[in-house]
Amino acid sequence: MSDTKMVSLDAMDEQLIQKAKQEGVETMWDRKVTMKAPCGFGEKGVCCRICAMGPCRVSPVEGKGAQRGICGATADTIVARNFARMIAAGTAAHSDHAREIAHVMHLASKDGNYTIKDEKKLLRLAEEWEVKTEGKDIYDIAHEVAEIALNEFGKPFGTLRFLERAPEPRKKIWEKLKIKPRAIDREIATIMHSTHMGCTSDAESLIHMGMRTALADGWGGSMIGTEFSDILFGTPVPRETEANLGVLEEKQINILLHGHEPSLSEMIVMASQDPELVKLAHEVGAEGINLAGMCCTGNEVTMRHGVKIAGNFYQQELAVLTGVVEAVIVDVQCIFPSLTPITDCYHTKFITTSPKAKITGATHIEFNEEKALESAKGIVREAIENFKNRKQDKIFIPKTKAQATVGYSVEAVIKQLDRVVNSQIDPLGTVKPLADVIKAGVLRGAAGIVGCNNPKTQHDYGHIEVMKKLIANDVIVVTTGCAAQAAAKAGLTSKDAAKLAGKGLQAVCELVDIPPVLHMGSCVDISRIITLVSETAKFMGVDNCDLPVVGVAPEWMSEKAVAIGNYVMASGIDVFLGVLPPVTGSPEVVDLLTNRVEEMTGAKFFMDEDSLKLADMMLVRIEEKRKNLEKLGLATMNTAQEDDASTTALSEIV
Partner 1 sequence: MNLFEIIYTGSNQALAAAEGLLKQAIDQKGKAHKVAFPETAYSLPVIYAATGLKMNSLGDLEGAIGVVKSLITEEPRLEPALNAGLATAVSAEIIEAIKYALNDTPYEAPCAGHISDATIRSLGVPLVTGDIPGVAVVLGECPDSETAAKVIKDYQSKGLLTFLVGKVIDQAIEANVKMGLELRVIPLGYDVTSVIHVVSVAIRASLIFGGVEPGKLAEHMEYTKNRVPAFVNAFGPLSELVVSAGAGAIALGFPVITDQDVLEVPTLLLTQKDYDKVTATSLEARGIKIKVTEIPIPVSFAAAFEGERVRKDD
Q: Which does 523 bind (CB under 5 to 8 A by kind): partner 1, ligand SF4, none?
A: ligand SF4
Strands 349-352 and 325-330: what pairing?
parallel
Q: 272 with 291: CB under 8 angstroms?
A: yes
Tell me: is residue 334 an annotated ligand-binding position: yes
345 is in an annotated binding site: no
Q: Which residues from 329-388 bind ligand SF4, rule CB under 6 A?
A: 334
Contact 553, 529 (CB under 8 A): no
End-to-end alpha carbon distance in the chain: 70
* Of 334 and 550, CB closest to ligand SF4: 334
Q: In this structure, are residues 351 and 291 in contact, taking their beta carbons and an 8 Å threshold? A: no
Surface-to-core class of residue 343, CB atoms within 10 Å of its CB (0-12 exposed, 13-18 middle, 19+ buried): buried
Angle at 260 between CA 485 and CA 273, to 5 degrees: 85
Short-list 45, 97, 52, CA closest to 71: 52
Binder to partner 1 among 511, 591, 608, 616 (CB under 8 A)? 511
Q: Which residues are CB-neighbours of 477 under 8 A, at least 6 positions away?
A: 446, 447, 448, 449, 467, 470, 471, 487, 492, 516, 517, 518
From the CB of 414, what's the least distance to partner 1, in Å? 13
| Residue 197 binding ligand SF4, by CB under 6 A | yes
Nearer to ligand SF4 among residue 56 and residue 102 (C-beta): 56
**Residue 294, C-beta contacts closer than 8 angstroms, at least 6 positions apart:** 256, 257, 258, 309, 310, 311, 312, 313, 315, 316, 319
Q: Is 545 a known ligand-binding residue?
A: no
Q: Which does 50 bind (CB under 5 to 8 A by kind): partner 1, ligand SF4, none?
A: ligand SF4
Is 295 assigned a ligand-binding role in the annotation? no
- Residue 153 region by backbone torsions, left for phi larger than 0, else alpha for psi between -120 and 50, else beta: alpha
DSSP 182: -
| 199 has binding-site annotation | no
Applying CB under 8 A, among 620, 630, 631, 632 the residue interacting with partner 1 is 630
Site for ligand SF4 in 388-447 (CB under 6 A): none
Report the relative pairing of strands 517-521 and 475-480 from DSSP bridges. Answer: parallel
Could you tell me which stretch among 49-57, 199-207, 224-232, 645-653 binds partner 1 (CB under 8 A)? 645-653
The correct pick among 1, 11, 37, 645 for binding partner 1 (CB under 8 A) is 645
595 backbone dihedrals φ, ψ, rounded to 5° = -145, -70
- Residue 334: name its binding partner from ligand SF4, partner 1, none (Cβ under 5 to 8 Å by kind): ligand SF4
Binding residue for ligand SF4, selected from 146, 271, 277, 295, defined by CB under 6 A: 295
- Closest to partner 1 by CB, 416 or 493: 416
- Distance (Å, whole) CA 32 – CA 404: 31
Nearer to partner 1, 11 or 654 (CB): 654
Considering only residues 441 to 480 of the shown chain, the ones binding partner 1 according to CB under 8 A are 441-442, 444, 473-474
What, of partner 1, ligand SF4, none, does residue 210 touch, CB below 5 to 8 Å by kind? none
* Other Cβ atoms within 10 Å of 399 Cβ, number: 8
Stretch of 99-107, 471-479, 556-564, 633-641 contacting ligand SF4, by CB under 6 A: 556-564
| x-marked contacts with partner 1 along 545-584 as a string, rule CB under 8 A | ----------------------------------------
Q: Does 71 belong to an annotated binding site?
A: yes
The total of other beta-carbon atoms located within 10 Å of residue 541's CB is 13
357 in Cβ contact with 333 (< 8 Å): yes
493 binds ligand SF4 (CB under 6 A): no
Question: 509 a known binding residue?
Answer: no
Q: Residue-wise over 14-41: b if at least 16 C-beta within 10 A, else e?
A: bbbbebbeeeebebbbeebeeeeeeeeb
Compute the distance between CA of residue 212 and CA of residue 181 in angstroms, rounded to an integer: 5
Spatial contact of 56 and 48, defined as CB atoms under 8 Å apart: yes
Q: Which range touches partner 1 (CB under 8 A), out of 1-9, 350-358, 399-407, 631-639?
A: 631-639
Taking the complex as a whole, the smallest distance from the CB of residue 627 to partner 1 amounts, in Å, to 9
Nearer to partner 1, 52 or 640 (CB): 640
Site mask, ligand SF4, residues 471-490, x = CB under 6 A? ----------xx--------
Rounded Cα distance between 642 and 572, Å, is 41
Q: Which parts of 77-136 interact with partner 1 (CB under 8 A)?
A: none
Q: What is the β-pairing status of strands 402-406 and 363-364?
A: unpaired
- For the segment 37-96, give every residue that binds ligand SF4 (CB under 6 A): 48-51, 53-56, 69-71, 73, 78
Closest distance between ligand SF4 and the C-beta of residue 147, in Å?
A: 28
Contact call for residue 73 and partner 1 (CB under 8 A): no
Q: How far is CA 29 from the centre of its chain?
A: 23
User: Site residues (CB under 8 A) for partner 1?
Assistant: 417, 420-425, 433, 436-437, 439-442, 444, 473-474, 502-504, 507, 511, 623, 626, 630, 635-642, 644-650, 653-654
User: Site residues (CB under 6 A) for ligand SF4?
Assistant: 48-51, 53-56, 69-71, 73, 78, 197, 295-296, 313, 334, 451-452, 481-482, 523, 558, 560-561
